[in-house]
Chain A
Amino acid sequence: MSGAVATQTSAPARTDEAPRKRWSPNRLAGAAVLGAWAILFWWLLLTGRENLYLSTRTQWVVPVGATLLTLAAIGRLTTARTIEPEPVRRGEAWIMGAVVVPVVLVMALPPATLGQFSAGKRSGFASAGVATSAGDISSGELTLIDVAAGQTSPEGERALAARAGEQVVFVGVVTRYDDTPADELFLTRYVVTCCVADATIAQVRVVNVTPGTFEPNDWVEVTGAIYPIGREVIVNATQVVGVDRPERPYLTP
């Protein structure tokens, strides 16, 4: 490939005079696709919407992706003037358009997070090792990650049980199932390790809730006493208030 120029030609190559360079539709179209994706990544970064798709530990891919995509788009644009411009096949043009569809989709839709619909389809968060390294369950402020991870090992269950009756404050999404009594709700928070596709749930059952005050998918802050009973964790609420969706709606283990 060294010293070669990619070209489509039916005429003999002429090397005795400097050939004229023209814009290559194929390379321009490719630069446009790369540019569209670069815009999406800059937009995610500037609006903070990366929080809706990635965990804090993988959010570095957004600035890196934005920078690389911008470089790639500019780099391709600089190669777009060539001696023998390559055309874009009609089918190829539509495929390139299809590659840009996710960009339109993400930018056109209002911000949203996983909610009630996914709660029954996701497995529970389980990594005792993560929770115990983040903060010993037996002391310090209890988080939903501690609670969820504490339910998956005998040591965790014992440590959690020892804290029965303590006051906690949890923020999450209201979830209700068919058999959930009117004066109860499940408080769900999704735990995301890399991206939302790997989301698992941390969930507690909240009792002593005024019936009819909150709908599924509402964000609420629950204050109350925690009572771990076996693998189930109950919070006897003293206060449940509606709150705005947090800036970082997903927890990172």
Chain B
Amino acid sequence: MERLAAPRTGNATMRTAVAVVGSLAAFALLLQVAEPQRFAWVQTFFIIFGSLLVQALPFVLIGAFASALIEVFVPIGALERLADLPRPLQLPAAALAGVAMPICECGSVPVARRLATKGLLPSAAVTFMLAAPVVNPVVIASTFVAYRGREAMWTMVAGRFLLGMLVAVVVGWTVGAVSKDGLLKPNPEEDRAHLVELGRPEPRWRRFFLHMGNDFLFMGRYLVLGATFAALVQTFLPASWIAEVAALPVISIVAMMLLASLLSLCSESDAFIAASFVQFGPSPQLAFLVFGPMVDLKLGALYAGTFRRGFLRTVVVAAFATTLVATLWLQVVTG
């Protein structure tokens, strides 16, 4: 590695590699010696942090796997055919496509990124990314199980599907006619490279593994960052604080959206948590179920790493406003 790297370019040398590995070893030793888990909050943080990553990481990898398949096997421009649909149908069609993607929100980000680079309308890719974790069959089934036996069961199941579609379409529409370069941050792993024809083309399987690894490494760092924030919040935030605002009509909805964002739960399990807040009515619970899989701490880190500046703000504002208005309307209708 040292031979290849010129120090002036800021490239890592063998010394850097040794320093990184040495730091990790020192960290492991420190954990053994200092026993930070003696402190209850530290232990709780480590457990939640570890569990978030152990659960989410395979889904990011599955997302990277799907993303690499799209990159290598879907011809350039194939997804542009969606643009042939009448304009009012393009975003709903992208949202509906989320039904066929039974993975949680972490996995949908690399897929959406790849879809946009392969020619799908960027706004449609965003709509797909937001809809898939809310409307896919696994999530709808878990919502059904969590609310089975409750009076509001069908309100929650149908409401989650329909409101998830609506919010995803509205956010996609708000993103508008931005180009893929205007939407996506360049991936340093791929952007560093120039594309040059050199001899025989690389076999597809080599390109597949290269893209899969690049996507995983790109998303993985943001997942670690997001899981750190989410675990800190989960360690210290008492659920009872939120329950105190359950009786306030608008505030209760806002509080549940805020809670969903802070907890950063997987969309396949969040219905069980929403159902546990029995003090809240169907509207705040629905807001929790729709807003959470679209905007949360770990997603915020993933969005910040994947999309250009301003995207996160657009998603937060548009998703928040649409969810709030729709759930308030539901609150009025259902009394």
Contacts and interface: CB of A to CB of B under 8 A. Distances in A.
A59 B238 CA distance: 27
B31 A105 contact: yes
A136 B238 CA distance: 32
* Interface size of B as a range: 35 or more
B185 interface: no
Interface of A: 1-9, 13-15, 18-19, 22, 25-27, 29-31, 33-34, 37, 41, 44, 50, 52-54, 58, 61-62, 64-65, 68-69, 72, 75-76, 78-79, 83-102, 104-110, 112-118, 120-130, 132-133, 152-153, 155, 193-198, 200, 253
Interface string B185-199: 000111011111111
Given A85-B4, A89-B11, A196 B238 contact: no
Interface string B4-26: 11000111100011001101100
A190 to B, nearest CB: 10
B47 interface: yes
The 6 closest A-B pairs by CB, nearest first: A129-B148, A75-B209, A3-B201, A65-B58, A194-B269, A117-B40
A114 B47 contact: yes
Contact of A92 (B148, B188, B270): B188
5 contacts: A75-B208, A75-B212, A127-B146, A128-B148, A193-B273
| Chain B residues touching A, majority SS | helix
B179 interface: no
Contacts of A69: 58, 61
Given A30-B189, A129-B147, 7 more contacts: A25-B4, A53-B47, A72-B212, A87-B1, A97-B20, A123-B243, A153-B150
Given A97-B20, A118-B44, A195 B52 contact: yes
A195 B268 CA distance: 10
Interface of B: 1, 4-5, 9-12, 16-17, 20-21, 23-24, 27-28, 31-32, 37, 40-41, 43-44, 46-55, 57-59, 61-62, 64-65, 71, 76, 142, 145-150, 153, 188-190, 192-199, 201-202, 205-210, 212-214, 216-217, 220-221, 224, 227, 230-231, 234-240, 243, 263-266, 268-270, 272-273, 275-278
B137 to A, nearest CB: 16
Contacts of A128: 148-150
Contacts of A123: 239, 243, 273, 276-277
Nearest to A37: B57
